[in-house]
C-alpha cells in the first residue's frame, strides 16, 4: 500500500461532474484529500485524463471450464490494459456459477492475481436451466453481487416470477436479458432486409419487447430490482423509458457493439458480427446511442466474450456468438461520446459512476474515501485494433483493423499500479 | 466493408457465390457463353477441352442428386477430372471443420470447388480461405443463394421470352426458405424485368422481402394475373411440421398450381420449377406435364449454364 501522488492530470470525476487539472492522492488503498507524509510514488499525468477506473458489468473470464478460449490471467491482463478496474462476470462458465464453492474459488483465483476486482454474478437457476432456483443467499455470502441467466433465457414464466419474488425477498438484484425463447429460437440475425437478403434465420425485434414487457410486469408485481442486460432495439428503449418514468426499480445497459454497429455491418457474412443479441437496424443503433446519452440506458458494458479462432472460422450461423471487448471499452465509449457531442465527464459516467451504482460499490468516483481505483489515459492517442495489440486471448472483434482513439497509460487498483504502457 | 469477394481485381468473375452484386455484364457473359455451349450438348461428341487437366471437386455438405449430377456432367463435358465428395457422410460427421476439409482437398490440387452447404454464407467462408488460383462455385447455401439455378432460370426465361424488358414473373411458394427464389429475384432485377412478384402466405415470406424489389401477393388469382413466367418453388414436407402451414392439402388448394389457376396468366406463359417436384402439392401433374411447362428443358439448360460458369471462372 503505497502513498501515491498523481499530479498535473486532468481529473474527471463523473459522479460530481468535476473536470479540472488537479492532484489526486491515494493512501492505504483509498483516495485521500492529502497525504500525511511524503508520496512514495509520484506519477506525472500531464496531458492525460485521470478518471475513476472503469467498471464493466459484463466480462467473461472463461474460468472455470473454458480455458482454451481464455484464462483468468489473460483476461485480467486485458482488463487492466483496458483501464477496467472492476468487472462483473456472468455465470455462463462451465460448470455455471451456481454453487458457492465455484464462486469462492473464482474470487480467490482472481484476488491472487491482484489486478482488477472481480464481482461474480451468480446463476439465478441451477445449471442455468431455468427450472430450479439456486441457493441465492449462500451464493451472495460467497460473493455474488447479483443473479443472472447470462444469455440463457428462462422459458417458464412461472419460474421467472418465483425467482424474482425470491430475489426480492433478500433484496438481491437480478440481471436479465430480454429475449423470448420461442421467438428467438434458431435465429442469428435481426429480422429485416439484411437477414432476408443473406438468407439468415432471423430474430424479430418483438422477441425483445415481448420479453421485456413480461419482465416489467413482473418487476411491478414483485418489486425485484432488475437490471436488463444488452438492450438491442429502439422499441425496448421506449418500454424502459416508461418503466423508469413510473419509478420501477429497473436499470439497463447496452454493449459497446450495439451503439456503433448494425445489421448492415454483417457485409458478406462477417462472423465477427455474430453477436447476442443480434446487431439490429441502423434506426435501432441510433436510438440506443441516443438513449445512452439521455440516461434512459444507464451504462455501457463490453460484453467481453473471448473466443478461439475456430469459433469464428465457421459459416455465420454456426459461428460462436460474441466479441472480445475489455480493451475496446474506452476507445468505443469515447467514440460514442464524440458522436453524441457530450462532455467527457458525462461520457465517462457510463463506464464509471453509473455501473458502480448498479453494482452497489463505492468505486467509480474520485472523492476522499473512495477506493483508489484509477485510470490515466490519453483520449487522443490512436489505437489500431489488431490481434497483436490485444492482450485478451480472444482476438475476435468486428473492429479489427479499425483506427480508434484513446489509450490507457496507467491503471491503478487500490493504490497499486497494475498496468503501465 | 470488404471488396465483393466474387470478383478479382480486374472485375472478372473469380468465384460464383451469389447473383446479388454481380454486374449485368457478367450475367450476360454467362448466359451468352451458355448459349454457345448449348450446341455442344447436342453434338455426337459432347466434349470440349477447356478444362483439360483441371480438377473439379464437388463438395456436397448437403445431399443433392440433380445439382450434383449436372455439375458433374458439365465438368466432364469441359474435360475436367471430377471428384465427388459427399461430406454429409464423411469428414463432417467425424468432426473435421469445414476449413480443414477444404485445406486438405486444396492440398490435392483442386482448381474448382463446387460447394453445397446447409449454412447460408458457407461458400463465402471457403472463398476467403482458398488459394488465388482456386475457384469456388456456390451450388446452394442455406436459404441464401443458388446462383447457378438462378442463372439457368434466367437462361430458360430468355430462351422462351427473348428478353426481360417487358416481363412479369411470378414466383410462388416457400420464399422464406428458398435460395432459388433469392437468386432468381436478384437476377431478374439486375437484367431489368419490370415486375417480379412473390406469391405466398405470410408465413412463407421473409420480413422486408419488398426491399429485394418484388411485389408481394397473397392470392394466386392476383399474383398470376397476366404473368409471362410462373416459377413454382418446392415445398418441403417439414414445413408442415411447424406452425408455418396446416397441411399440404390446404396449401395445394390455395397455392398449388392448377390449370385453372394458371388460366389468369398470359396465354403463352411458361411454367418453371427448380425440382424436385411435389406433384399434387405445389404443382398438379396436368400443369407439370402440360404445354406451358418448361421444367425439363430447365434441366438441360442447367448443364450448359454450369459449363459456362466453370469455364469463365477458370479462365479468370
Instruction: For A219-235, write each residue's pLDDT tens digit.
Output: 999 999 999 999 999 99
Burial of B97 (0-12, 13-18, 19+ CB in 10 A): middle
Average the pLDDT over B189-208 and give the result.
97
Q: Within a 13 Å sphere around the CA of A211, how many CA atoms are in the beta-carbon half?
A: 26
Tell me the residue ranges of DSSP E strands in A174-277. 174-177, 189-190, 202-203, 226-229, 250-255
Q: Could you tell me the pLDDT band of residue B94, with boundaries at 50, 70 and 90?
A: low
Burial of B246 (0-12, 13-18, 19+ CB in 10 A): exposed
Do the Cβ atoms of B135 and B314 come closer than 8 Å?
yes
Q: What percentage of chain B reaches a pLDDT higher than 90?
A: 82
> In A, what residues contact B, Cβ < 8 A?
191-193, 195-202, 204, 265, 267-269, 271, 310, 313-318
State the cell numbers at A168.
Answer: 426480492
Residue B129: closest C-alpha in chain A: A313
pLDDT at B93 over 60: no
Instruction: Give residue-wise pLDDT tens across range A314-329.
Output: 999 999 999 999 999 9
Q: Which residues of A touch B182 (CB under 8 A)?
A: 197, 199
Q: Could you tell me the pLDDT band of residue B143, with boundaries at 50, 70 and 90?
A: very high
Tell me the residue ranges of DSSP E strands in A115-154. 117-123, 146-148
Q: Are A269 and B124 inside 8 Å of each other by CB?
A: yes
The residue ranking higher by pLDDT, A277 or B91, is: A277
- B66-77 and B295-315 helices, crossing angle to 10°: 50
Do the Cβ atoms of B174 and B167 come closer than 8 Å?
no
Q: Which residues of A touch B122 (CB under 8 A)?
A: 315
A238: closest CA of chain B, how far (Å):
22
| Cα separation, A335 vs A261, whole angstroms | 12
Nearest to A52 by CA among A351, A365, A408: A365
Do the Cβ atoms of A60 and A118 come closer than 8 Å?
no
Q: Which residues of A touch B208 (CB under 8 A)?
A: 191-193, 196
State the cell numbers at A93.
Answer: 462458465
Of A98, A180, A303, A373, catalytic: A303
Q: Within a 13 Å sphere around the CA of A410, how many CA atoms are in the beta-carbon half?
A: 21
- Could you give the dihedral angle defined by the CA atoms of residues A313, A316, A321 and A327, in that order, rounded to the nearest 10 degrees? 60
Do the Cβ atoms of A352 and A364 come closer than 8 Å?
yes
pLDDT at B57 over 60: yes
Average the pLDDT over A334-344 and give the result.
97
| Cα separation, A329 vs A351, whole angstroms | 8
Pairing state between β A416-420 and A403-413: antiparallel
Q: Within a 13 Å sphere around the CA of B4, how many CA atoms are in the beta-carbon half?
A: 18
Clarify whether A303 is annotated catalytic: yes
Number of neighbours of residue B218 by Cβ within 10 angstroms: 14
Q: Are B120 and A269 inside 8 Å of each other by CB?
A: yes
State the cell numbers at B219.
Answer: 392470392
The sign of the torsion formed by the CA atoms of A316, A317, A319, A322 equals positive
Residue B144: closest C-alpha in chain A: A199
Instruction: Give residue-wise pLDDT tens across range A402-415.
Output: 999 999 999 999 99
Q: Are A315 and B182 inside 8 Å of each other by CB?
A: no
Instruction: Give residue-wise pLDDT tens across range A361-418.
Output: 999 999 999 999 999 999 999 999 999 999 999 999 999 999 999 999 999 999 999 9
Cis bond leading into B276, ω under 30°?
A: yes
Q: Could you tell me the pLDDT band of residue B3, with boundaries at 50, 70 and 90?
A: confident
Do the Cβ atoms of B30 and B308 come closer than 8 Å?
yes
Q: Can you name the residues that pair with A33 across neighbouring β-strands? A: none
Q: What percentage of chain A reaches a pLDDT higher than 90?
A: 96
Q: Are A271 and B119 inside 8 Å of each other by CB?
A: no
Q: Which residues of A touch B99 (CB under 8 A)?
A: 313
- B179-190 and B24-40 helices, crossing angle to 10°: 110
Average the pLDDT over A66-72 and give the result.
87
CA distances from A150 to A346, B58, B158 (A): 28, 41, 54
Average the pLDDT over B145-158 and give the result.
98
Number of alpha helices (DSSP H) and beta strands (DSSP E) in chain A: 13, 18
Please list, in sequence order, all residues whose beta carbon lies within 8 angstroms of the beta carbon of residue B262, skipping any fewer than 6 positions away: B224, B230, B269, B271, B287, B292
| Cα separation, A409 vs A82, whole angstroms | 9
3-state secondary structure A305-341: CCCCHHHHCCCHHHCCCCECCHHHHHHHHHHHHHHCC
ipTM rounded to 2 decimals = 0.93
Average the pLDDT over B185-208 and give the result.
97
Instruction: Give residue-wise pLDDT tens across range A111-141.
Output: 999 899 999 999 999 999 999 999 999 999 9
pLDDT at B1 over 60: no
Average the pLDDT over A247-269 and give the result.
97
| Cα separation, B89 vs B198, whole angstroms | 35
DSSP string, A18-50: EEEEEEEEEETTEEESS-SS--SEEEE-TTSEE
- How big is chain A by its Cα radius of gyration, in Å? 20
Question: Counting one residue from A and one from B, how many pairs have CB atoms under 8 Å apart?
Answer: 80
Amino acid at each position: 500500500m503505497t502513498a501515491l501522488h498523481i499530479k498535473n492530470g486532468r481529473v474527471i470525476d463523473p459522479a460530481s461532474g468535476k473536470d479540472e487539472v488537479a492532484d489526486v492522492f491515494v493512501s492505504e488503498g483509498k483516495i485521500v484529500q492529502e497525504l500525511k507524509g511524503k508520496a512514495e510514488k509520484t506519477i506525472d499525468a500531464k496531458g492525460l485524463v485521470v478518471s475513476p477506473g472503469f467498471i464493466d458489468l459484463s466480462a467473461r473470464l472463461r474460468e472455470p471450464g473454458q480455458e482454451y478460449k481464455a484464462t483468468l490471467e489473460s483476461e485480467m491482463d486485458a482488463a487492466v490494459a483496458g483501464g477496467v478496474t472492476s468487472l462483473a462476470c456472468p455465470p455462463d462458465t462451465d460448470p455455471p456459477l451456481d454453487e458457492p464453492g465455484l464462486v469462492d474459488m473464482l474470487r480467490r483465483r482472481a484476488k491472487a492475481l491482484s489486478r482488477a476486482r472481480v464481482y461474480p454474478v451468480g446463476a439465478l437457476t441451477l445449471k442455468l436451466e431455468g427450472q430450479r432456483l439456486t441457493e441465492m443467499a449462500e451464493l451472495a455470502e460467497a460473493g455474488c453481487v447479483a443473479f443472472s441467466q447470462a444469455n440463457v433465457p428462462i422459458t417458464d414464466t412461472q419460474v421467472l416470477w418465483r425467482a424474482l419474488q425470491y430475489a426480492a425477498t433478500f433484496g438481491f438484484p437480478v440481471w436479465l436479458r430480454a429475449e423470448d425463447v420461442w421467438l428467438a429460437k434458431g435465429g442469428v440475425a435481426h429480422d429485416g432486409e439484411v437477414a432476408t437478403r443473406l438468407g439468415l434465420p432471423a430474430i424479430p425485434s418483438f422477441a425483445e419487447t415481448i420479453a421485456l414487457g413480461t419482465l416489467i410486469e413482473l418487476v411491478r408485481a414483485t418489486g425485484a430490482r432488475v437490471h436488463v442486460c444488452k438492450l438491442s432495439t429502439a422499441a425496448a428503449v421506449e418500454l424502459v423509458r416508461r418503466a423508469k418514468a413510473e419509478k420501477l426499480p429497473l436499470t439497463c445497459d447496452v454493449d459497446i457493439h450495439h451503439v456503433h454497429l448494425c445489421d448492415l455491418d454483417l457485409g458478406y457474412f462477417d462472423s465477427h458480427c455474430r453477436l447476442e443479441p443480434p446487431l439490429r437496424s441502423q434506426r435501432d443503433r441510433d436510438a440506443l446511442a441516443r438513449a445512452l446519452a439521455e440516461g434512459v440506458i444507464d451504462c455501457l458494458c463490453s460484453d467481453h466474450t473471448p473466443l478461439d479462432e475456430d469459433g469464428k472460422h465457421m459459416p455465420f450461423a454456426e459461428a460462436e456468438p460474441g466479441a472480445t471487448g475489455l480493451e475496446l471499452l474506452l476507445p468505443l465509449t469515447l467514440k460514442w461520446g464524440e458522436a453524441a457531442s457530450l462532455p467527457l465527464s458525462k461520457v465517462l459516467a457510463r463506464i464509471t459512476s453509473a455501473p458502480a451504482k448498479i453494482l452497489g460499490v463505492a468505486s467509480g468516483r474520485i472523492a476522499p474515501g473512495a477506493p483508489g481505483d484509477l485510470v490515466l489515459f490519453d483520449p487522443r492517442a490512436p489505437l489500431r485494433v489488431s490481434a497483436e495489440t490485444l492482450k485478451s486471448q480472444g482476438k475476435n472483434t468486428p473492429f479489427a483493423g479499425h483506427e480508434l482513439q484513446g489509450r490507457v497509460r496507467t491503471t491503478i487498483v487500490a493504490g497499486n499500479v497494475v498496468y503501465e504502457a | 466493408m470488404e471488396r465483393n469477394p466474387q470478383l478479382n481485381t480486374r472485375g472478372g468473375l473469380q468465384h460464383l457465390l451469389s447473383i446479388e452484386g454481380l454486374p449485368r455484364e457478367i450475367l450476360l457473359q454467362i448466359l451468352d457463353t451458355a448459349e454457345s455451349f448449348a450446341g455442344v450438348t447436342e453434338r455426337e461428341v459432347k466434349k470440349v477441352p477447356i478444362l483439360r487437366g483441371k480438377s473439379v471437386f464437388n463438395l456436397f455438405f448437403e445431399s443433392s442428386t440433380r445439382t450434383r449430377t449436372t455439375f458433374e456432367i458439365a465438368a466432364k463435358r469441359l474435360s475436367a477430372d471430377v471428384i465427388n465428395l459427399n461430406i454429409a457422410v464423411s469428414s463432417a460427421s467425424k468432426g473435421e471443420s469445414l476449413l480443414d476439409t477444404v485445406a486438405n482437398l486444396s492440398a490435392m490440387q483442386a482448381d474448382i470447388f463446387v460447394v453445397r452447404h446447409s449454412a447460408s454464407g458457407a461458400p463465402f467462408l471457403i472463398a476467403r480461405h482458398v488459394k488465388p488460383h482456386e475457384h469456388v462455385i456456390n451450388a446452394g447455401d442455406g436459404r441464401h443463394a443458388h446462383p447457378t439455378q438462378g442463372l439457368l432460370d434466367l437462361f430458360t426465361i430468355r430462351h422462351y421470352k427473348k428478353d426481360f424488358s417487358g416481363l412479369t414473373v411470378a414466383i410462388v411458394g416457400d420464399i422464406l426458405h428458398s435460395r432459388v427464389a433469392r437468386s432468381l429475384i436478384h437476377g431478374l432485377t439486375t437484367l431489368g424485368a419490370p415486375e417480379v412478384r412473390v406469391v405466398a402466405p405470410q408465413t412463407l415470406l421473409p420480413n422486408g422481402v419488398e426491399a429485394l424489389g418484388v411485389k408481394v401477393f397473397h392470392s394466386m388469382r392476383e399474383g398470376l394475373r397476366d404473368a409471362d413466367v410462373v416459377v413454382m418453388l418446392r415445398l418441403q414436407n417439414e414445413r408442415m411440421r411447424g406452425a408455418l402451414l396446416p397441411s399440404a392439402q390446404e396449401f395445394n388448394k390455395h397455392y398449388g398450381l392448377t390449370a385453372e389457376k394458371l388460366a389468369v396468366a398470359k396465354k403463352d406463359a411458361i411454367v418453371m420449377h427448380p425440382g424436385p417436384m411435389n406433384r399434387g402439392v405445389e404443382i398438379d401433374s396436368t400443369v407439370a406435364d402440360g404445354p406451358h411447362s418448361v421444367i425439363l428443358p430447365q434441366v438441360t439448360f442447367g448443364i450448359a449454364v454450369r459449363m459456362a460458369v466453370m469455364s469463365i471462372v477458370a479462365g479468370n
